[in-house]
Structure formats: C-alpha cells, structure tokens
Amino acid sequence: MKKVLSSILMAGSLLLGGAAAHAEKSGGTLSFLVQPEPPTLASYVSTSGPIGLVMPKVYEGLFDYNNDGTMVPILAESYSASADGKTVTFNLRKGVKWHDGKPFTSADVQFTVMEVLKKVHPRGPNSFREVTSIDTPNDHTAVFNLKKPAPYMMRSFSAYESPMVPKHLLEGKDIKSAPLANNPVGTGPFKFVEWKKGQYIRLDKNKDYWKKGLPYLDRIVGRFIPDASTRTAAMENGEVLYAAYNAIPNIDAVRLKERDDIDVTTEGYSMINPMALIEFNTKEGPFVDPAIRRAISVAIDRRFMIDTIFFGYGKPATSALSSNFKATNLHAEMPNYPEKGDKAAANAILDKAGYKRDGNGVRLKAVLDLIPYGEDWRRAGEYLKQALGDIGIQLELRYEDVPTWLKRVYHRYDFQMNVNYFYQLPDPVLGVHRHYGTDQIRKGTHFVNSSRYSNPKLDALLDSGAGEPDAAKRTAAYKEIQQILADDMPVVNLFELEFLVVYNTKLKGAYGSAMGAYGSFREAYLDD
C-alpha cells in the first residue's frame, strides 16, 4: 500500500509531464463526514477539529508534510536559513491567485503571520513567538527575522496550523469578526460554495488552481450526521466515503474493516500526536505529593485500557513525550511507565510514603473528572476507579458537559484529577511545553498547565529545548525534561491515542499527507 501511495504522490508531482501510465481520474463528488458541525470556518482564529477537516481544502500553507516527515512545497517553493538560524528566507510560488482573482504575494505572508496568526490564532503566538518581523524585498520573497533560532517553527507551516489568508480581505478590519470567516477566499484546490447549516458544506473544484491538472475531484461535500450509528450506516451504504477523527466509532470500525470496500488506517495523525492523560491538581487536595502520582502511573494497566476500551488502537505511553518524537530523536523511554501496570510496586510506593489503609482498605479518597467527549472516556474512568481502588485510592467519577468541565478545570482549578487528552503536535515546543511551563499557568486559558506545576529547573530546560539549533544538545535537553517529568508526574500520561480513518477503497490518493484528514485532498480521486 505504501508503495502505491508514494507512486501516487510521485505521479502527482510529475503530472505536468503528463505521465499517462497512472490511473487518476478526474471528476466526481467526494462526500465525507465532518463531525461535529464546525462553529465557524475561520481556521485562522480557531483550531477546532471539524474546521480542520474542511478548511485546508480552501486555504493553503507554505508547506505540507508527507507521512515520512519530508516537507512538500506548497505556497513556498523553497526556504533557506542563515548560519545563526535567525533569518529564514522563503521563496514563494509565482502565479498563485486567490479565489477572487487577486494575486498571492509576500505581503499576504507577512500580514498572515504578523497580524493574524501571531495575534489571534490559538497556537500561532507560540509557533511564531521568535518572529520579530518579516521583510518583503519583492512579491515572491518573505524573510522571517527571529530573536532566537526556532527549529520547531518549520513543522508548523501546514494549511491546518498556519493557513495563509488574503490581506486584501482582512486588512483594516477586526480580524476575529471579519466576514471572511464564513465566506472564505483561499488559494487552495477547492473553492467554498455554501454551508447549509445542519446539513453540509460544499466545496467545488478551483479550475484556476496553480498546479495544472489538480485537483481531480469536481466537488467535496462535508456532511454532518449527528448520530454515530447513522454515520456508520451511511459509510456502509457508500453515501460517505471518508471518515476521520473517530467519526465512525472504533467498535464499528473493526466491523466495517472486514468488508471488501472499506478499509481503516491509523496514518494521517502524526502531526497531531494525541496523548491521553491524567492531570493532577498539584497545589491542593490529595495529589500534592509526587509519590502518589507516581504510584498511580505505576498501577495503571495501559495495555488493558487500549485493548478493552479502544479496541487495540493506541500505544502505551513510555514518557511524557509521544513515541512519534523518536523521528526527531527527542523521545526517551522512562521508568514509572510499566505497560501492564504493577500494583505491587504501586502499593509499595504508597506504603513507603506513609499512606496507611483504613479498615476498608482505603488510603485516600478523590474525585476523578472525565473529559466529556464521548463514551470511551467514561469507560476509561470506570477502569481507573477499579484499578486505583486496588491500591487503596477510592475514586468518585464526575462527568459534566463541556462548558461546566472547562470552567472547573481551567478557570477555577476546582478539581483533583482529570482525565483528558492533549495534542502534542509536530514538536514538543508546540504541544507539550504548554502543559508544564510555569509561564503556562494561565488561569482561564484552556488546555494549558492546569496542574499549576512549577519547576524553575524544568522551565530553564524547556527554554533551551525550544531555542537549541544543535540537534544533539536538543536531544539531551529533552531527555532531562522527560526524566524530571517521570519523577514528578504532574501529569500521568496514559497512552498515545490512535485515531482512525475509515474510508471507502474507491477513494484513492487522499492518504499521503501527514496531515491526514486535515490535508488538501488535491490528489484524491475516485476509482470505481
């Protein structure tokens, strides 16, 4: 399969020469599942998942990334960095036009990064924090000036992370409320046509796309179907051909996989790196002592959780970093992460730390909050209640709706332990630092350091990890970071979630990008 994919990719890039030996067919409508319906289409303001499914087909980034991690030039043809790493020059593609016919130039890049992403994007201020200014010596050159080298920045130029938006439609307006939000004008292979609330979003082929011969599809329609069983039925019936981010629940995916016309892959999530975890309140309550948190990490049978609750899709965590960071040599396996759990060892830790069992065998009581994103997490809570009960930690489960839960954990810090999952993104600086740095204790900001863990030594290491251009030194810094975190455990990482893409085998050419469902689909085609 891999081979086929790479030949498709090659074909895509060689297509200008008219390599007729390949079977790509033009035409047809791809309908795929978007779940849930997005709140807005402003992908430059919100990184909400369903927006990511739709908008990278309309807006493009400077680069895309292949499954093996290589960069694919999109709006930038190439880049070069100065020796000190503080100047990065992008050579932009010529002849690219916005969907309204205006030319795409370096001024758009400058405006997008400095005025939009750095200011209103949820993660942009982090991705581009070292960028002080962008020079535009001509229409096709953008020079980024950095305070410090930022090696991680080069991983965040995808259409999902950093969409390039038209300056002429945003300049002088309030960016967050500009009408561009739901009338998007991009440079991408598909043009936005209409959003029928409660039903679908329709995108049509951009006939003037800068890459001749692409896209193959005439139309892409993202459908909203609220009920999971109906989504599965629509997939079985061939009414939708592609479903990512577990729009089809694992329990159905393992059944659909048996069919000849439907297949399942876990590829397309390596830039997202979702990690399931437990956050602890380290400032007050029963989990102030790191020994208890360590004992919890040791007691949990991660393999059991993956196999039983997630139908085998997942990898046990072996440190605070996802094993996908092995590719950049940042991941190191750590102690206190036994795959199958070791209750005897966990009990020994608690005994040694002086937590005595009472007459009922209970050492301490706590409340476990659960992320309200579906049934799987309730199951996870039920497992944890049982597993931690065995080591004398008696849990009460609490399951609230999204706004109530967010308020509790990130505004009031009114929690003891909380099951959650975080996207670690393509680099730890982008996805992991926000969970542990002292500067990330930001009351009222969601999905940052809610544990309020603060360790000056760790902060210094995180800083050097972010700005270190030398690969070997960077590896060493992250090793030490992971050691500190494995010891203090402000967060117990459970397992790397493996999201699924369920797709009809009729749909080809949509699987080469590391962005997966957040990719452009410009090389996707239907083959009956």
Partner 1 sequence: MTKSTKIFKYVGKRLLQGIPIILAIVIINFFLLNLAEGDAVDVLAGEAGSATPEYMAQLRKKFGLDQPLPVQLMVYLKNVLSLDLGYSFRHDMPVNELIFDRFAATGLLMTSTIILAVGFGILLGLLAAMRLNTWKDAVITVFALITYATPLFWVGLMMIVVFSLNLGWFPTSGMTNIAAFYEGWDYVVDVSHHLVLPTITLSLFYLALYTRMMRASMLEQYGQDYVVTARAKGLTERRITYVHVLRNALLPVVTMAGVQVGALIGGSVIVESVFAWPGLGMLAFESLFARDLNLLLGIFLLSSMLVVVVNLIVDIIYCFLDPRIEVN
Question: Does 173 help bind partner 1 (rule: CB under 8 A)?
Answer: no
> In angstroms, what is the minimal distance from the CB of 194 to partner 1?
9
| 528 is an interface residue for partner 1 by CB under 8 A | no
Stretch that binds partner 1, among 34-42, 272-280, 327-335, 475-483 (CB under 8 A): 34-42
Of residues 95 through 134, those in contact with partner 1 by CB under 8 A are 120, 122-123
Rounded to 5 degrees, φ, ψ at 391 are -105, 20
Closest CB 90 distance from partner 1, rounded Å? 25
Of residues 94, 255, 442, 473, which one binds partner 1 by CB under 8 A? 442
Please, where are the H alpha helices in 316-451? 343-352, 375-389, 402-406, 428-431, 433-436
Residue of 178, 159, 157 lying closest to 167 (CA atoms)? 178
**Is the Cβ–Cβ distance between 346 and 296 less than 8 Å?**
yes
Of the candidates 128, 224, 242, 478, which one interacts with partner 1 according to CB under 8 A?
Answer: 224
> Per CB under 8 A, does 403 bind partner 1?
yes
Q: Percentages helix, strand, coil for the chain, rounded to the nearest 5?
A: 35, 20, 45
- Applying the rule CB under 8 A, the residues between 412 and 431 that interact with partner 1 are 423
Contact of 200 with 53, CB cutoff 8 Å: no
Determine the interface stretch with partner 1 among 93-101, 228-236, 300-308, 509-517 (rule: CB under 8 A).
Answer: 228-236
Site for partner 1, residues 465 to 494, rule: CB under 8 A = none
**Pairwise CA distance, residues 412 & 407, whole Å:** 6
Judged by beta carbon, residue 308 or residue 404, the one nearer partner 1 is 404
Report d(CA 323, CA 314) in Å as an integer: 11
Give burial (CB, 10 Å; 0-12/13-18/19+) of 337: buried
DSSP code at position 104: P
The nearest distance, CB 219 to partner 1, in angstroms, is 8
Does 448 help bind partner 1 (rule: CB under 8 A)?
A: yes
Q: Residues 1, 16, 20, 227: which binds partner 1 (CB under 8 A)?
A: 227
Sequence-distant contacts of 71-75: CB under 8 A, at least 24 apart: 71/154, 71/157, 72/513, 74/159, 74/520, 75/104, 75/109, 75/164, 75/187
Part of the chain binding partner 1 (CB under 8 A), chosen from 64-72, 230-238, 288-296, 346-354: 230-238
For the chain, first and last CA: distance in Å? 18
Q: How does strand 29-33 pair with strand 242-243?
A: parallel
Dist CA 396 CA 128 (whole Å): 42
Residue choice 86, 97, 200, 480 for contact with partner 1 (CB under 8 A): 200
Candidate list 137, 226, 361, 389; residue touching partner 1; CB under 8 A: 226
- Contact status: 367 vs partner 1 (CB under 8 A): no
Among the listed ranges 226-234, 259-267, 297-305, 459-467, the one in contact with partner 1 (CB under 8 A) is 226-234
String of contacts with partner 1 for each residue 47-66, x by CB under 8 A: xx------------------
Determine if 407 is a binding residue for partner 1 (CB under 8 A).
yes
- Please, are residues 39 and 230 in contact by the beta-carbon 8 Å criterion? no
Residue 304 interacting with partner 1 (CB under 8 A): no
What's the min distance (Å) between Cβ of 200 and partner 1? 5
User: In this complex, which beta carbon is closest to partner 1, that of residue 70 or of residue 183?
Assistant: 183
**Judged by CB under 8 A, which of 315, 363, 433, 434 binds partner 1?**
434
Work out whether 169 is an interface residue with partner 1 (CB under 8 A).
no
Choices 28-36, 54-62, 106-114, 502-510 (CB under 8 A): range interacting with partner 1: 28-36
Our CB check for partner 1 shows the closer of 37 and 463 to be 37
State how far Cα 85 lies from the chain centre: 26
Q: DSSP for 24-74?
A: -----EEEEE-SS--S-S-TTT---HHHHHHGGGTS--SEEEBTTS-EEES
- For residue 239, the minimal CB distance to partner 1 (Å) is 6
Q: Phi and psi (nearest 5°) for 73?
A: -65, 130
Nearer to partner 1, 97 or 118 (CB): 118
Q: Which H or E run includes 233?
A: helix 228-236
Q: Which two tokens stand for residue 403?
A: 């706004």
Number of residues engaging partner 1 in binding (CB under 8 A)? 53
Binding site for partner 1 (CB under 8 A): 29, 31, 36-37, 39-40, 45-48, 120, 122-123, 176-177, 181-182, 196-200, 202, 219, 221, 223-227, 229-230, 233-234, 236-237, 239, 401-404, 406-407, 411, 423, 434, 442-448
